[in-house]
Amino acid sequence: MKIILLGAPGAGKGSVAKQLNELYGAVQISTGDILRSAVQEGTALGKKAKEYMERGDLVPDSIIMEIMEVRLQKPDCKNGFILDGFPRTITQAQELKVIIDRLHIHLDFVINLEVPVDVILERLESRRTCSNPSCQEIYNIKRNPPAEGGTCKKCGHSVIQRADETKEAICNRLETYNSKTAPLIDFYQNEGLLKNVLSLQLPETIAAIKKELNS
């Protein structure tokens, strides 16, 4: 399985990717997770990315492409990958096309996770994330709360509200999505790779993706 997950922030890309990883063994590659780990570890990459991320802006294409060119050549990608949060601009999609052609990688398809905007806002405001850079498990304070004391059920680290999940940053991320990322829907439609899937409940979303994979 070699797929791209498209969708607004809060569309459920991370949860869908984790489930597909468990089902098919394809590695989840989340540029957001890679960048958050780098920020928390204070690496040179993290220092460059931090301000953009906290404002809800996109990190420059050149930085993202440098990360992804290396990541896609790691041996674990041979068994399949799920790109979660990448590409996010037309430039990234065009450059990705060049890289995968050069590496002889065949993309199966691009899943566009569709969610109404009121559901997205509610999800983002109630979302909490494990602060452990190598875990980053996602919780929802209403439907899937962390353990008592606000700790992660998987690794025990504290569960936090991301700096980019304040109301102001969320609005900026949605505007950024509409102006820079949504045009990828047409891009991949023209490439003949796009599949639209409604993303309201995880089991139904996974069932719809499985159906696409088998068709």
User: Which residues inside 92-151 make contact with ligand AMP, applying CB under 6 A?
Assistant: 92
Query: Contact, 82 vs 5, CB < 8 A?
Result: yes
* 32 lies in the binding site for ligand AMP (CB under 6 A): yes
- Coil vs helix vs strand at 139: strand
| 53 lies in the site for ligand AMP, by CB under 6 A | yes
Q: Which is nearer to ligand AMP, 67 or 215 (CB)?
A: 67
Residue from 17, 38, 64, 206 binding ligand AMP (CB under 6 A): 64
User: Whole-angstrom distance between the N-terminal and C-terminal Cα of the chain?
Assistant: 13
Binder of ligand AMP out of 7, 12, 85, 146 (CB under 6 A):
85
Distances (CA, A) of 89 to 4, 60, 126: 13, 10, 27
In the list 15, 21, 28, 31, the residue contacting ligand AMP (rule: CB under 6 A) is: 31
Residue 77's nearest CA partner among 21, 26, 142 is 26
Place of tokens 């929802």: 140
**Among residues 92 and 199, whose Cβ is nearest to ligand AMP?**
92
Q: How many residues bind ligand AMP (CB under 6 A)?
A: 18
What is the closest distance, in whole angstroms, from the C-beta atom of residue 117 to ligand AMP in the complex? 16
Give which of 116, 117, 67 is closest to 88, Cα–Cα. 67
- Binding segment (CB under 6 A) for ligand AMP, from list 37-45, 80-88, 109-117, 118-126: 80-88
